[in-house]
A and B are shown apart, each in its own frame.
Chain A
Amino acid sequence: MIDLDETDFAILRALSDDAAQGAGAIGRSCGLSQPAAWRRIRRLREAGVIRGHQLRLNSDALGFGVTVFLGVKLATKGRVSLEDFERAVSAIPEVQTVEHVLGLYDYRLRVVARDLPDFERVLRRRIMTLPGAGEVEANVLLTEERRMGPLGGPLG
C-alpha cells in the first residue's frame, strides 16, 4: 500500500475537484514546483489511487431532475446467474451505478430519470423485467453531499 503525506492529500483533493488542471497549477496550489507536482501525480496514478475520471454534469440543467436509489433483492438465487443480472442491469442507460451488497438487498442501483413518470417507466419496463429481480425498494434522492473522507473536507 502506498504511503501518503499531507501534500499528496492536497494533490488528491485538487484532482478530485478538477482533474483537467496541469501539474503546474496543482503545484502552485500545493506549494510545489511543476516537476515535483508532476512526479507526485505520476506516483499516485501508478499506485492506482485514482480509479478513473468522471465528467461533472449538471443533471438538473440537462433535464434529469430525479435520482432514485433502488435496493433490489434477487428472487431466484441459484437459478439465475449473478452475471446475467449484472450484465442486464448494467446495460440500462438510466442505471448509473450498480453495487453488489450484502445485507437486506443484493444490489443497490442509482437510477436517473427526467421526472417521476419517466422513473416509473424505467422501473416497470426495465428494472422489474430484469432476469431474477425480486423485491425492489425505492428511495428518492433529495440532497447529496460527497466528502473527501480521510483526505479532509467536502468534495466540490
Chain B
Amino acid sequence: MLDDIDRRILRQWQAEPTLAPAELAERARVSTGQLARRQAKLREAGLVTGVRAVIDWAALGYAVEVSLRITLDKTQARAFDDFIEAAREVPEVIEIQTFLGRVDIRLSVIARDMPHYQHLYRSRILTLPHIADIEALMHVARIKSDEGLPL
C-alpha cells in the first residue's frame, strides 16, 4: 500500500505531470534516485498507467459541447448494449458513461457550431435505439478539470 512518500510524489506528479524529474523530486522532497525508484514501483503496481495529453476540442474548431442525459426504455433487454454500440458509431461522441440513478446514460457530444449540433441531434442522436427521454445540458465553461485524486 502507499506510504507518505508515495502520496507526496503522487500529489505533486498529478498536479503537474510533465514536470522534469529533478523539479518533481524537489517538490516531493525526495532524491531523484528515490523518485525514479518510486515511480517505477507505482507503474509496475499499475497504480499509474501513464500521462495523457488532453485535447482542446475548441482549438480544433468544435466550439459547442453538450451533455446529453438519456433515459432508456428498460423494457428492452438489450437497451444498454444496443444504445452504446450505436453511440460509438457517432464520431462527435467523445464520452459514454452509464449511471445508477435517474439518468441511465450520458453522452458528451461536440459540434462545430449550433447548426452543426442541430443537424447531429436530429440525424444521429435522436435516431439512437431505445431512448425513452433525453435532456441536454449546454456546456458553458470548464472551471476545474484536473481530475486529480485526493491523496
Contacts and interface: CB of A to CB of B under 8 A. Distances in A.
B48 A56 contact: yes
B101 A54 contact: no
B144 A90 contact: yes
Interface of B: 2, 10, 13-14, 17-18, 45-57, 59-62, 67, 69, 84, 88, 91-103, 106, 110, 135-151
A144 B54 CA distance: 17
Nearest to B56: A51
A6 interface: no
Q: What 5 pairs between A and B have smallest CB-CB spacing?
A: A139-B101, A93-B150, A51-B56, A15-B53, A98-B143
Contact of B46 (A61, A89, A147): A61
Contacts of A53: 17-18, 51-54
B18 to A, nearest CB: 5
Given A16-B52, A62-B2, A143-B98, A54 B147 contact: yes
A108 B53 contact: no
A17 B53 CA distance: 7
A interface bracket (residues with beta carbon within 8 Å of B): 35 or more
Nearest to B16: A53
Interface string A113-155: 0000000000000000000000001111111111111111011
A12 B55 contact: yes
B48 A108 contact: no
Contact of B17 (A15, A55, A139): A55
Nearest to B49: A56
A20 B144 CA distance: 23
Contact of A54 (B46, B52, B94, B136): B52
B141 A54 contact: no
A50 interface: yes
B123 to A, nearest CB: 16
A77 B51 CA distance: 39
A55 B146 CA distance: 9
Contacts of A110: 147
Given A55-B13, A58-B47, A139-B103, A50 B151 contact: no
A1 B61 contact: yes
A52 B49 CA distance: 17
Given A16-B53, A57-B49, A99-B142, 4 more contacts: A2-B60, A54-B17, A58-B48, A101-B138
A57 B52 contact: no
B137 A18 contact: no
B60 A18 contact: no
